[in-house]
Amino acid sequence: MDSIPLNIELPSEFSKCELDITTLKALKGDQGLEDGEIIGRLEDTILKHFRAIAFYQGHINVRKRGINTILPREVLSEVFYVIARHDFTIASDNFEPPSLSWLELAHVCRYWRNIVLTSPRIFSLVYLPAGNQDRLQACLHYSRQAPLDVIYCDNLNQVDRQKWLYNQWLTLHPHLSHTRTLTLRTQLADTTETALVLPLSTTLTRLTLNDPFLRAPSQSEATKRAIDQMFGALPNLLQLTSDPYTLCQSDWTERAFPANLQTLIVDNPFGEEPTPSLPRLISALQKLPSLRQLEFWGLRSEDFSGSHTISPARIHPLESLHLDGHCDPCTSILSCIDSTHRLYARPALHICDNPLAMNIFLDSLTGLLERQCLSSEESYVLVNSTHSRLGGCTLKTRLKVRPMGNSLVIPCETVFEMLHNSRGSRGPGSFQY
């Protein structure tokens, strides 16, 4: 019974699709809902067809087509949540409103409306701005105290719009006591202070503070103090994503991070913001015994400049390390990691222009490989090959690398074997290109 496909009769302009009950049951857990593979499998069968039904509501009599009798109420509710969650995830990544709202689903027919209004999880996905105050109030009402996932995105300059967004945030704030995830991106200082100075929910498990618009002169001392005091007040926080500037607001050696933090992501998409000094960063990370995943995006050449020669204390073993940016800071971080099960390194450099930097990076990578064994299938180095000799056919064949666009994917164990053989004949730090 679990694997019986459901053949859904659709209008002639749409092909038939099948829904696997086993797959839908797997979506009930939060972990399954966030699994990209499951979402990918459902896109063609669910998102396309059911979104089409919503958009063509004026031409389809859903009840007469028999869809509601084929799909049980609980399965249809799960489908609606998958659609809403998918759009909400895209909105979170792009900081744009979801393309399909609960209102569009609720207006297809009475049966769908009844399902939507009795599914609190659909209303637990809150995106601000929410269109108007009444819609936000309705969304919070029908969420019925379900754990909320909130995105607050403000990149508007008009004063009247800023006041409107600020009022929406004040409307939402009493409901933060049962908020599970919060993404805050705003260039409105009053909103930032309100969001951070007032107590956040102790149930918060994921927090994203990503604001490429704000710079040092625009943040008040109250905001800086709020950022500094916030982390210690979130005992259940498991994942923190932040721009480097926010993490630079105070002395890292005195900051109290949540002890249970498992994932730290430092995202610098425009490469314009300063990164904390490496000794302070390592000192802060050493206080996180539960840290399992560490990611750096958009590292600049001046970040951690020369830090790999200091040999700071190392971080405890990680499950996953992600480095994206200039070769020098990637090298500095590698020298501080005791071990990691999975490694994704994408050093941005032209090898023919700076072979010394690549030598130092590969030496640090070799040191990491010698301290423990990486998974050959999940760990690799992605090197840009547009202007480098790594693009040569001879070296491609010798390394058995996998091309990906203008880059080469080199398994870490291949790099280790290559360097080990090179060191045996020419000494350390003398890899030949």
* Burial of residue 36 (number of CB atoms within 10 Å: 0-12, 13-18, 19+): exposed
Q: Are residues 316 and 264 in the same domain?
A: yes
**Pair (338, 350) in one structural domain:** yes
Phi-psi map region of 429: left, alpha, beta (phi>0 left; psi -120 to 50 alpha): left
Q: Which residue has the higher pLDDT, 321 or 342?
A: 321
Cα three-residue angle 409-415-419, rounded to 5 degrees: 150
Q: Which of 103, 123, 143 is the last residue of a domain?
A: 123
Same-domain check for residues 55 and 170: no
Residues 7 and 50 reside in one and the same domain: yes
Helices (H) and strands (E) in the chain, counts: 20, 14
Mean pLDDT calculated for residue range 4-25 = 39
Provide the pLDDT for residue 380.
63
Shared-domain flag, residues 119 and 130: no
In a domain, 171, yes or no: yes
Is 383 among the domain residues? yes
The number of beta carbons lying within 10 Å of the beta carbon of residue 281 is: 24
**Domain edge (last residue) among 108, 123, 138:** 123
- Give the pLDDT confidence score for residue 402 in this predicted structure: 55
Tell me if 140 is assigned to some domain: yes
Are 265 and 276 in the same domain? yes
For residue 311, give every residue at least 6 positions away whose Cβ sits within 8 Å of its Cβ, in sequence order, or none: 335
Q: Is 0.85 surpassed by the pTM of this model?
A: no
CA distance linking residue 35 with residue 8, whole number of Å? 25
pLDDT of residue 13: 36
Highest mean pLDDT among 53-62, 116-125, 204-213: 116-125
Mean pLDDT over each residue of the chain, to the nearest integer? 63
The share of the chain scoring above pLDDT 90, in percent, equals: 0
Mean pLDDT of 331-358: 67
Whether residues 195 and 107 fall in one domain: no
Looking at residue 124, what is its pLDDT?
Answer: 84
Asked if pLDDT for residue 47 goes beyond 60, the answer is: no
Same domain? For 115 and 165 the reply is: no
Q: Which residue is it, tokens 């209102």?
A: 103
CB 76 within 8 A of CB 106: no
Instruction: List the domain range (segments joined by +) for residue 93.
Output: 1-123
- The pLDDT tens digits for 157-204 are 555 556 676 777 777 777 777 788 887 776 555 555 556 655 666 778
Report yes or no on 431 lying in a domain: no
Query: Is residue 21 very low, low, confident or very high in pLDDT (cuts 50, 70, 90)?
Result: very low
**Is 166 inside a domain boundary?**
yes
Tell me how many domains the chain contains: 2
Nearest Cα neighbor of 293 from 321, 266, 258 is: 321
Rounded distance between C-alpha atoms, residue 367 and residue 340, angstroms:
12
d(CA 142, CA 127): 15
Same domain for 56 and 147, yes or no, is no
Determine, yes or no, domain membership for 432.
no
Above pLDDT 70, what percent of the chain?
39
Taking only the tens place, the pLDDT of each residue in 280-301 is 777 777 777 888 888 888 777 6
- Residues 378, 392: contact at Cβ < 8 Å? no
Are 288 and 369 in a shared domain?
yes
356 located within any domain: yes
Question: For 113-122, 383-392, 407-416, which range has the lowest pLDDT when averaged over its residues?
Answer: 383-392
Domain annotation covers residue 334: yes
What CATH number has the domain bearing residue 185?
3.80.10
- Same domain flag for 115 and 131: no
Whether 88 and 176 map to the same domain: the answer is no
| Cβ partners under 8 Å of residue 26, min gap 6 | 32, 38
- Is the CB of residue 284 less than 8 Å from the CB of residue 249? no
Between 33-42, 189-198, 229-238, 248-257, the lowest mean confidence (pLDDT) is in 33-42
- pLDDT interval class at 350 (50, 70, 90): very low
Domain end residue (candidates: 123, 140, 160): 123
Pick the more confident residue, 174 or 385. Answer: 174
Model confidence over 98-150: pLDDT tens digits? 766 666 667 767 777 888 888 888 888 888 766 667 777 878 888 888 888 88
